[in-house]
Structure 1
Amino acid sequence: MDRLQAMTAFVRVVETGSFSSAARQIGVGQPAISKTIAQLEDRLQVRLLVRSTHGLTPTDAGVRFYERAKTAIQEADEAELEARGAGAGLSGRLRVCAATTFARLMMLPHLPKFMAAHPGLEVDVILDDRVIDLVSEGIDIALRMGDLADSSAVARRVTSGRRSVIATPAYLERHGVPATPADLAEHQAVIYTQLRNDWTFRKQGTEASVVVSGRARFSAAEGIRAAVLADMGLAVASDWMFWPELETGAVRRVLEDWELPDVGLWAVFPTGRLASAKARAFADFVEDVVNRGDGNR
């Protein structure tokens, strides 16, 4: 039994709560994981896991072993990277989670360049607008926008982007161009249910708040894009979400003399772990893309 592989299997079981989930993440069969954990317990002569109604739970000894094993795995990864040298590239599997629209427009077009720089690296991209549990899903790095709901999250602010009121010329021609934030109350807004629909604008020290409303509501940014481009209403959105259309004039900003708070882009890492070299490198890659890309103008 390879000691490091056994520790990796145990850590995945603890973090996912099941043999089957750990097996899927590692890419082996469930019986192999069960056998590895049994061999590990036999070698250590201590019970590491117990079954409960909530799945597999570590014993007190299991918790202590988990913390040490997790650190050992991370340090082994870092040691290998150091030994190979920075120019040798990264290897293994990197699991990334990002909002669908942001990934499609800002990240995925540039991903081949990142992978070409690290030919030994495999990248799993999970596209989801929701905030998912990084530990249970085995995510190494998540890209999230806006305010972080969990203040204890291990996160790094990558950059910030402009947020604007956006609509198509056709919609504005039919319904008029709002001159003040208060005018938005008379318009159809395309509502993103993941965010609040009250907005505070600022202009030369003056604040104006408005609650927008509309008949169309969407749980994903792809729906917001499609509805706005179909002339269904205006939306408050990050420029990242519409930068190709802003470039071509297919959509336009309104109320440009009023400012909305910028939207932050965060690289979030699993709580309780050191960010791996792979995750840190990917955060650097995304930071470079958004800070020099068209979507951050």
Structure 2
Amino acid sequence: MDRLEAMAMLVSSVEEGSLSAAARKLNIPVATLTRNVNDLEALVGTRLLIRTTRKLALTDVGAEYVATAKRILEEVDELERRAAGEFTTPRGELVVASPVQVARLRVLPVVNQFLALYPEIRIRLVQSDRIIDLVDVHADVAIRVGRLRDSSLVATRVGALRVVTVASPTLLDKYGWPETPEDLRELPCVVFDSPSLSPWRYRSQDTGQIYTIADVPRLLVSSPDAAVDAAIDGIGVTFILEHDVHEAVIAGKLKYILQDFEIEPIPVHVVYLSRAAMPAKLRRFIDYAVPKLRELLAEFGRIPSA
């Protein structure tokens, strides 16, 4: 048994949720993977996995062992990449994480341009509107929208995204223009279920304090595109990032409302884990992406509501 190989199989099994799924990912027979995991448990002298018909679970010892195994495998991988010249020559796979819509509108154009410049680099773009743990998904760098909480990350601010409230002309003709956020309680609302945008927040004109408006949505959706489409159709008012509605506003399909009550734009950062030595591929990407993203995020200006 190759111990490192068996550790990698164990980690993959846990990440994939089953031995068969891990075997498919690694392109090896299930019997081979099972034998290696069993041999690893025999070597350790205790059970690491609890196998059920539905999924895998870790024993207490297994959870600690897998966490340590991940760290060992990452250190070995880094040593091999250093020996292969990846720390001096930009090559290999780079994993970039980003919110879905930010990835589509802002990150992907930068990624495409970067790949054209560095033919020996491959990029895996992980798109999710949930906060992604860089270690869990083995990401090299991430674009984060919102306030940063993890102090272990190195962060570079690249801009901010304005948060706006919009409604269709048809809906405004029917209900009238709201003068304050409290007026939204009388209007149907379309809510995009996002950590950065829930609950709806506004700034008091009198005190400058931030307060929230919580209401039962007429429609709750899990993507910004769905929220925008529903708002265009007159289903309700929605609270969204400006770049998601920019084209609809320009086309006259939506109107900005309650602009005087808007909160400060949400910051956007490029973040990565602090490490003793940074691979050339990551350094080149950061050096290239930061100014490009700053340029793209600076495009939007304040558009009058009428």
> Above 0.5 in TM-score?
yes
| Higher mean C-alpha displacement, 109-118 vs 283-292 | 283-292
- The 1:70–1:217 alpha-carbon spacing in structure 2 relative to 1, beyond 3 Å, is closer
Structure 2 letter corresponding to 1:55: L
Percent identity between the aligned chains? 26
Structure 1 letter corresponding to 2:259: E
Question: 3-state DSSP class of the match of 1:179?
Answer: coil
Q: Residue 201 of structure 2 aligns with which residue? A: 199
- The CA deviation string for residues 81-121 of structure 1, in whole angstroms up to 9 with x for no partner, is 44415562241473x55443333222333332243455445
Task: Tell whether 2:263 aligns with 1:263.
Answer: no
How large is the Cα RMSD of the aligned pairs? 4.4
The 8 Å contact of residues 107 and 289 in structure 1, kept in 2 or not, is answered as no
Structure 2 letter corresponding to 1:34: T
- The 1:109–1:122 alpha-carbon spacing in structure 2 relative to 1, beyond 3 Å, is same
The 8 Å contact of residues 190 and 216 in structure 1, kept in 2 or not, is answered as yes
Q: Residue 78 of structure 1 aligns with which residue? A: 78
Structure 1 letter corresponding to 2:72: A
How much does 1:174 deviate? 5.1
Task: Tell whether 2:243 aligns with 1:216.
Answer: no
- Give the TM-score normalised by structure 1: 0.70
Task: Tell whether 2:115 aligns with 1:115.
Answer: yes
- The 1:133–1:74 alpha-carbon spacing in structure 2 relative to 1, beyond 3 Å, is closer
Superposition map of 1:37-76 within 5 A: 37-38=37-38, 44=43, 46-47=45-46, 49-53=48-52, 55-57=56-58, 60=61, 66-76=66-76
Q: Residue 242 of structure 1 aligns with which residue? A: 245
In structure 2, the gaps of 5 or more residues are 301-306
- The 1:162–1:58 alpha-carbon spacing in structure 2 relative to 1, beyond 3 Å, is same
- The 1:14–1:35 alpha-carbon spacing in structure 2 relative to 1, beyond 3 Å, is same
The 8 Å contact of residues 89 and 117 in structure 1, kept in 2 or not, is answered as no
Q: Residue 91 of structure 1 aligns with which residue? A: 92
In structure 1, the gaps of 5 or more residues are none
How much does 1:190 deviate? 1.5
- Give the TM-score normalised by structure 2: 0.68
How much does 1:239 deviate? 1.9
How much does 1:74 deviate? 2.0
Question: 3-state DSSP class of the match of 1:257?
Answer: helix
Q: Residue 22 of structure 1 aligns with which residue? A: 22
Q: 2 CA distance for matches of 1:130 and 1:77?
A: 27
How much does 1:293 deviate? 0.9
Structure 2 letter corresponding to 1:91: G
Question: 3-state DSSP class of the match of 1:203?
Answer: coil
Structure 2 letter corresponding to 1:51: I
